[in-house]
Amino acid sequence: MNFIGKEIEDFKVNAYQDGDVKQVTKSDLLGHWSIVFFYPADFSFVCPTELGDLSDNYDEFKNAGAEIYSVSEDTEFVHQAWHEKSEEVGKVKYPMIADPAGKLARFFEVLDEDAGQAYRGVFIIDPKGKVRSYTINDMGIGRNAKEVLRTLEAAQFVAEHGDRVCPANWKPGQKTLKPGTQLVGKI
């Protein structure tokens, strides 16, 4: 299924954040850009490196007007225990969503039903709740927070400047392209 332009459905889940459990709903993802970051499991191996990398870059995501929501099939209580035990995960300030029933993982089609775990999906959602970018990796392939941030910034640029597009490796402030016949065969 193609998720580009698809609006996220209503949901209500628990999340662990800042030493407390809170509810997160679709309305929490509206009005700002959101990064929904699925990972297979707490107390695992690649996952803490990814969550730590996101945490190390969290201020840049916030400065770009985005919130990060990490998601696994673990409960909010397992998230809390992991946050308290792991040095890398202990840095996390963003909501760690609990999806033990698999509702979000099924909606985004990242749930490996046999394993009961989510593949490594990253979904960039615009302020209206529509998916603008996504990638899904196999369980053993970690992701890079800087690339997620770069993709977010490109999605934001394209949303603001609909007549311009971002070439490979584009970063804010760099040259963009205006599609048209004048570029055909010249790039």
pLDDT of residue 185: 77
Least Cα distance to 40 among 131, 141, 125 occurs for 141
pLDDT at 1 over 80: no
SS3 content of the chain, % helix, strand, coil (to 5): 30, 25, 45
Tell me, yes or no, if 47 is annotated catalytic. yes
Lowest mean pLDDT across 84-88, 149-153, 155-159, 163-167: 163-167
Which is catalytic among the residues 13, 35, 36, 47?
47
DSSP state of 6: P
| pTM, to two decimals | 0.95
Query: What's the mean per-residue pLDDT of the chain?
Result: 96
pLDDT of residue 99: 98
Segment 4-44, tens digit of pLDDT: 999 999 999 999 999 999 999 999 999 999 999 999 999 99
pLDDT at 186 over 90: no
Structural domains for the chain: 12-143 (3.40.30.10)
Rg for the chain (alpha carbons), in Å?
Answer: 17
pLDDT at 183 over 80: no
pLDDT class for 184, splitting at 50, 70, 90?
Answer: confident
At a CB cut-off of 8 Å and minimum separation 6, what does 117 contact?
Answer: 40, 41, 72, 73, 111, 139
pLDDT of residue 162: 86
Segment 85-132, tens digit of pLDDT: 999 999 999 999 999 999 999 999 999 999 999 999 999 999 999 999
Q: Average of pLDDT values for 143-167?
A: 96
